[in-house]
Structure 1
Amino acid sequence: MITDVESATPALCRLQLGRELRKLRHEAGLTSTQVVRTLLCSPSKLTRLETGDNLVVEAVDVMALCEIYKATPEQRSLLMGYAAVTKTKKDWWQSPEYRPAIAPTFKAYLGLEATASALHKYEGEFVPGLLQTEEYVRAIYQREHERLSADEIDRLVEVRMTRQEVLDRSSVPLKFAAVINEAVLRRQVGSPAVMRAQIEHLADVAERPSVRVQVVPFKAGVHPGMNGAFTLFRLGDAESIVYLEYLGGASVMRKRADVGLYEEAFNDLQILAVGPQESLGMIREAIKEH
């Protein structure tokens, strides 16, 4: 539960509001079908409210659900406070300077990243975004988006660098665990100087208490990450979500069976990878190659 609602981010308030609404529904012994019939709304609307997917939560919807669930005055006050934040504040990625540079499918990722208590990332080709340097990011975007103007590239780079502030947030400290393929250390992105600076930065960040970086060496052979990169978000103590990104777009997976497959894959990758200290040694050795 958020102790200081007024200082919380809209993304965090939407997430907590959804959790509380879902909890109240379960305590009331009601199915989602029963609720939407009483509320006279679509099933997707209730789903968005319970998963925190709405950018703005209307007070009238919260009040109606509180009536249905017979919430206490204290519960109503708290939930209305969450809803008020979503109306009066905006997440940083909703601001005019960033909005044009963020694809609609990526907004879901940013919301998850902003509220997760833990983030587990497997990456086979790139240094994970939260650990990238500005010049490394720029080299990637200049190659991937050759038709964009310099100003558009600048905005994309700024979005990536702003995202990294999540590693320093105080409201919900983030524990970040990354497993990377050894190829990430060997593949040159940009000039040798850009790559060397990136690997040096990776080594520095890997020593932070809240960050854990492991490397899957080539000699490990076949491994669960060979099907592609993935991100696991842990929201609070119980809920986990998988985010997958591909050339045609992105998808979010919430079903327990699907999430379990990726949790198992990440655990296997951590076992196959060398430990954090040995990984740090591999990272430092890679600096010399660039």
Structure 2
Amino acid sequence: MITDVEAATPALCRLQLGSELRQLRLASGLKGSQVVQKLRWSPSKLTRLETGENSSVEPDDVVALCDIYDADAETRARLHGYSVVTRTKRDWWLTREYRPVIAPGFKAFLDLEATATAVQTYQSEFVPGLLQTEAYVRATHQRSLMELSAEDVDRMTAVRTTRQEILARPNSPLKYLAIINEAVLLRNVGGASVMRDQLTHIVHMVESRPNVRVQVAPFRSGAHPGMNGAFVVFQFPEKLALKPMVYLENLGDAWVKRSDSDVEQYADAFSELQSLASGPQESLSMIKEAIKEH
């Protein structure tokens, strides 16, 4: 549980609140359909609460659920505190400046990333977001999202670069382990100069930050479990009631996988990718060689 609710981020409070509400419901032996029938809610409302999807949570809704679940006074106070934080604070990505370019699926991703203590990601087509340079970010958005205005491209670029501050988070920087396909090193995004700077930045991040590790999945490794697409595995502080989760996205949609079986499947896939990928030092050598090729 969160020990200092008032100091917690809204994203953390949303996720923790949802997790604890779901645990209370399961402990009470109630199905979601029974709860929404009692409260005359839509099924989606309860789902959004339990998955932390709402930007803010009404304290009265939490009180109503605690009544149904017969929660004790301490639990009621804690969950009410979580909801108050979501109502009175805003995460930076939900401010007026950035909100226009934050789709619901990406908001869920940012919630998870901001709360996680460790991230494992496999990327097959582009440099992982937390390692991208500003020029690389602009090149990818200008090419793949042609409907964005210049102003929105600026916003998306600012979102991407602001996210990267988590790698230097005071006291508890994010532990970041990325595996990238060798094709990412060779694909010319934005021109040779952009690629040289981008790959040089990856080398700098790996060599200067002990919490950042990058491995390259070489072509010679053949078939591997990442061939079905990119994915991100999030791990959270042990003190929280949050189990690991998986994030997936494609051109038109995004999903968060929470079930134990789904998470285990992707965790196993990542472990196998680690064993197939080149080691950290050999991977750095591959990146440096790619810099020369660009």
TM-score with structure 1 length normalisation? 0.91
Q: CA deviation at 1:13?
A: 0.4
Find the partner of 1:245 among 221, 224, 249: 249
Supply the AA of the counterpart residue of 1:215.
V
Percent of pairs with identical residues: 62
Q: CA deviation at 1:249?
A: 2.3
Single out whichever of 55-64 and 65-74 deviates more from structure 2: 65-74
Aligned to 1:230: 231
Aligned to 1:31: 31
CA contact (8 A) 1:115 1:172 kept: no
Once residues 82 and 170 of structure 1 are traced to their aligned partners in structure 2, the CA distance between those partners, rounded to angstroms, is 23
Q: CA deviation at 1:123?
A: 0.6
Aligned to 2:271: 267
Once residues 110 and 215 of structure 2 are traced to their aligned partners in structure 1, the CA distance between those partners, rounded to angstroms, is 24
Supply the AA of the counterpart residue of 1:190.
G
* Structure 1 pair 31–150 and aligned structure 2 pair: CA distance change class (3 A): closer
Q: CA deviation at 1:7?
A: 1.9
Q: CA deviation at 1:92?
A: 1.3
Once residues 144 and 19 of structure 1 are traced to their aligned partners in structure 2, the CA distance between those partners, rounded to angstroms, is 35
- Superposed, 1:139-288 pairs within 5 Å as 139-170=139-170, 173-207=173-207, 208-237=209-238, 239-288=243-292
The answer on 1:125 being equivalent to 2:125 is yes
Once residues 8 and 71 of structure 1 are traced to their aligned partners in structure 2, the CA distance between those partners, rounded to angstroms, is 22
Aligned to 2:104: 104
1:135-174: per-residue Cα shift (whole Å, max 9, x none)?
1111212222345443232122111111212223348642
Aligned to 2:73: 73
Would you say how many aligned residue pairs link Structure 1 and Structure 2?
290
Once residues 279 and 88 of structure 1 are traced to their aligned partners in structure 2, the CA distance between those partners, rounded to angstroms, is 45
CA contact (8 A) 1:116 1:235 kept: yes
SS of residue paired to 1:119: strand
SS of residue paired to 1:251: strand
Q: CA deviation at 1:230?
A: 1.6
CA contact (8 A) 1:178 1:212 kept: yes
CA contact (8 A) 1:217 1:273 kept: yes
CA contact (8 A) 1:116 1:236 kept: yes
Runs of 4+ in 1 over 4 A off after TM superposition: 170-173
Single out whichever of 190-199 and 131-140 deviates more from structure 2: 190-199
* Structure 1 pair 173–36 and aligned structure 2 pair: CA distance change class (3 A): farther
SS of residue paired to 1:160: helix
Aligned to 2:2: 2
CA contact (8 A) 1:8 1:171 kept: no
Once residues 253 and 260 of structure 1 are traced to their aligned partners in structure 2, the CA distance between those partners, rounded to angstroms, is 10
Cα RMSD for the two superposed structures: 2.1
Q: CA deviation at 1:248?
A: 2.3
Once residues 86 and 72 of structure 1 are traced to their aligned partners in structure 2, the CA distance between those partners, rounded to angstroms, is 22
CA contact (8 A) 1:212 1:276 kept: yes
TM-score with structure 2 length normalisation? 0.90
Once residues 172 and 258 of structure 2 are traced to their aligned partners in structure 1, the CA distance between those partners, rounded to angstroms, is 21
Supply the AA of the counterpart residue of 2:180.
I
Once residues 251 and 34 of structure 2 are traced to their aligned partners in structure 1, the CA distance between those partners, rounded to angstroms, is 39
Structure 2 segments unaligned to the other structure (5+ residues)? none
SS of residue paired to 2:256: strand
